Structure 1
Amino acid sequence: MTAVTASHLYYIKRGRGGDWEAESLRDGVLRFGYREAPHDLCARGDWQGVWEAMKTIRGDAGAATRDVNQVRAYYEADEHSIFITFVGGILYWCRPSGPVELLDERSHRRQTAEGWRNTSVNGTLLSADRLSGRLLKVKMFRGTICDVRAGDYLLRKLSDQLSSEVAAAEEAERALMTAIVDLMRLLTWQDFELLVDLVFSTSGWRRVSQVGRTQKTVDLELILPSTAERAFVQVKSQATSAALNDYVARLAEADAYDRMFFVWHTGYIAEESSPGGLILLGPQKLSRMVLDAGLSSWLREKVS
């Protein structure tokens, strides 16, 4: 996938209180206020003349300079530039296209090359809760348009690229998850049952009862207090497709549970298959849950 590039990166607000938010996203346009800016001078690129006009209006040279910088960015940005904004906790981005239109109410509008997008080039939603504070602090800007200082970071996010530091951390995480799988396979089946119970409890589930227990297999009943959902969990050290199919058949008539889990650490079953709505937690998914629950140290101590 080609990396996203830009000659300039700008943040823009969507009018007072987001007045142009719906129109901008629906019609794929870039709206801008600054009614006082003389459109004819801006269109000609006479920025000294624009500055003088704005100084007369503002009565302050510094304010006029700040105004001209924002107006000029809007007028001169081309398809090599990127504008970003935030709507409902999501980052949107676009590339301006075509000339600036002066509307009747003396606000401005520009078309965009492909409309506003809220995903990276690979389709990852650009949710603000997964963006760095270095980028998010641009929302604190009091004016209308400003440069995006975290430009390198923004382009990496749009391109689905990782920094070297993040890439190294992900590689280390993958190695740790592989080690967790190896450690789980060293547990006794009783300790593996305890590990599964701990994983679910850190997610808010509470054990109600232990329905069945045979060597290397245990059936658990869980409840999620916040929603009163009930779950049935079968825990197996080693699993086969035949064992899974048997479990599915036995639960086909069970209607007392909102969710059903099948958990194991050894044996190959495609974890994505999820037959009959059953949630499969094999070694790969379970290792991630162990890591996220902070149980890797507990696991190491159990087998050391």
Structure 2
Amino acid sequence: MSLASIRGAAHPRVDVLSTGPNLMAAKSHPITASKIYYIKLGRGGDWEAESLRDSVIRFGYREAPHELCSKGEWQGVWEAMKAIRGDAGAATRDVNQIRAFYEADDRSIFITFVGGLLYWCRPGGEVELLEDRSHRRTTLDGWHSTSAGGTVLSADRLSGRLLKVQMFRGTICDVRASDYVLRRLNDELAPEVAAAEEAERVLLAAIVGLMRLLTWQDFELLVDLVFSTSGWRRLSQVGRTQKTVDLELILPSTAERAFVQVKSQASPSGLRDYAARLSQADAYDRMFFVWHTGDIPEDDAPAGVVLLGPQKLSRMILDAGLSSWLREKVS
């Protein structure tokens, strides 16, 4: 749980067009690609909704001579585009994009960005020339906004090395970060990221151990610091409030009031007792029940109660930058 979680922030619901197979199947049949292209689906995204809905890839270039393109007569296409553009370099850039659209096969992948998500597909059938002389291809199995293991490909969780491809001023270009794209589609971590995650896992486990060395007074102080760094303001002193409450808080941005019960040792019966008291406390919007030792499942909270056990609390301590404070307290 991050600090945003105890602010009461809600994560927006993300609708995905499709989901991939489970992770085990993904590892058995990894996603591969001979080429990865980025494509803009229309000027200003005009064809995005249609492409995703109908599982097609739309492409403009109405000036392109379809008959020559279909036959692969690219010298003729270049000459036609040069006559239109009046510039050899522009004609070459046009032909490169047109050729990619016509020649990409089902071993290739097209990616695009729509609504904050990365979508990907494999081209399927032949290029179709529409009445307005724009172009369309079917996809092999539709557009996907998830990895092989079902992870949503949210743009805010993707590397800037890939995101900068959106600055391309044409319609189709090669994706230089193709290795990165394939890793994300296959739910694989770069070795450096895997090493960092393992180091973080070890640190979180160490934080749990350090918490359990604190006196109950220092543990209450630590909890107070965690909440204060996330925007909550304490209304009463630690350990000197009502007998039901260890901390009384307010969130200034929403005026939400909460109380915090801090326990070094916690039990299900103790949680039930405090949850019952919450139901009789009209002055509070919710309750945080915090502990570092006990057998309470952290994902089984009574109504109106937020459970912050050792696993969630260790993550919050790390995110708040309090691991050094904790280490110094018990050293």
Q: TM-score, normalised by structure 2?
A: 0.88
Alignment partner, residue 13 of structure 1: 40
Give the whole-Å Cα distance in 2 for the aligned partners of 1:86 and 1:230: 40
Q: Does 1:204 align with 2:227?
A: no
Counterpart of 1:40 (choices 52, 67, 81) is: 67
- Following superposition, the deviation at residue 279 of structure 1 comes to 1.1
1:193 and 1:218 in contact (8 A); partners too: no
Given candidates 272, 279, 284, the residue that maps to 1:252 is: 279
The correspondence of residues 46-125 of structure 1 with structure 2, limited to 5 A, is 46-125=73-152
1:218 positional shift = 5.3
Q: Give the drift of 1:219.
A: 2.1
Equivalent AA in structure 2 for residue 11 of structure 1: Y
Q: In the alignment, is the contact (CA less than 8 A) between 1:235 and 1:263 conserved in 2? A: yes
2:208 aligned residue (155, 162, 181): 181
Give secondary structure in 2 for the equivalent of 1:97: coil
Residue 191 in structure 1 maps to residue 234 in structure 2: no
Mapped contact 2:220–2:238 kept (Cα < 8 A): no
Q: Give RMSD over aligned pairs.
A: 1.7
Q: CA deviation at 1:122?
A: 2.0
- Kept in 2: contact 1:223–1:229 (CA 8 A): yes
Larger relative contact order, structure 1 or 2 (CA cutoff 8 Å, min sep 6): 2
SS of structure 1 residue aligned to 2:93:
helix
- SS state at 2:89 partner: helix
Which of 293-302 and 47-56 deviates more?
Answer: 47-56
Percent identity among equivalent residues? 80
Q: Residue 211 of structure 1: CA displacement?
A: 8.6
Moved more, 171-180 or 80-89: 80-89
Cα offsets for 1:81-102 (capped at 9, x unmatched)? 1111111222111111111111
Per-residue CA deviation, residues 105-155 of structure 1 (Å, 9 max, x unaligned), is 110011112222112122222111111110011011111000000011111
Q: Residues 10 and 148 of structure 1 are in contact (CA less than 8 Å); yes or no, is this contact kept in structure 2?
A: yes
> Does the 8 Å contact 1:218/1:236 carry over to 2?
no
Distance 1:206 1:173 in 2: 29
Number of residue pairs matched?
303
Structure 1-normalised TM-score?
A: 0.95
After TM superposition, the structure 1 = structure 2 runs for residues 272-283 of structure 1, keeping only pairs within 5 Å, are: 272-283=299-310
Contact 1:70 1:145 in 2 (8 A): yes
Secondary structure, aligned partner of 1:86: strand
Which of residues 26, 30, 49 is equivalent to 1:3? 30
SS at match of 2:125: strand
* Cα distance between partner residues in 2 of 1:123 and 1:79: 21
